[in-house]
Structure 1
Amino acid sequence: MISYLLFACFIGLALAQDFKPYNLTALNLFHNSDFNGNGQFDRSELNDVFQNYDVNYDGRVARHEYLHFISEPLYNFAVILFEDYDCAPPPDGFIDDTDFDVYYKIMDENQDDMVTSDEFVNHWIRVLERNEALHSPTQTTSTP
């Protein structure tokens, strides 16, 4: 249940206000994702974030499994996030350990196999800025 905190935070913010300031939103995401409280986002914590999305327990998260848990205000944003997470070439419509390895390296700016709070925050600021139109309070959503 703890892995739902990541998007619970997004959903709560989406219903209440904009994600701005992005640095505070990203810092809140970091604190909700640093499950062991060591001040770093460990590779194992990336798995933990997605664990409950894998509803059929096959070791990977299908797009429909991931989007099933996302509410209307953030649906379009979640579609884009899924595409970001499905980053091991070629994209296959599933998020698994191979994708997690690639995504973790993307977040790890200095490639020291450790994502610090600064790296985590910087990454999520870029994601939020790049996709601002999809998560702003005035967005128009549509689900397929």
Structure 2
Amino acid sequence: MAMSFLKILTLSFLMVGLSGFDYDKGIGLYSSKAEAFEECEDWKDSGNVVVYATNINIAEVASRFGLENPAPISNSSRSTIDQLKYADRLYEWNQLVENFLAKHPTKAMKMYSRMCEYEPSEKLFVGYENKKIQEGVWKDEDGMRGRMVKVKYFRY
């Protein structure tokens, strides 16, 4: 009886070793896809978040400004008075554009230190982490943004 138990135990360790389990990589084995997903999402949500301001690109600026301040439309009338009124409206609109751009419009960006990615062929969710964000040293500068690296596996 003891011999068969040892054979089963040895065979189990051999199978685990051959299956590629890496206990240093933080592998969790879960009973279902839903449970693995929930655990990965909980892990992701427990990570840090960075919120920072970034400049809006020119297309966003034009779109945003155009919605709030539509460009004046020229009347088809050719009278001098109508043309002068249109020129005044156009001048005022251009002043609004310059003032808007002078404020250096920005938008808030949110970055998570962790994310989960589903790999159906492997039957697992991979947990990625950005150490710079997680450690609170992330900056929107070259060399300080870090990168996402695989750190956890949620297998089902």
Structure richer in helix, relative to its length: 1
Structure richer in strand, relative to its length: 2
Q: TM-score, normalised by structure 1?
A: 0.24
Q: TM-score, normalised by structure 2?
A: 0.23
- Which structure's CA Rg is the greater one? 2
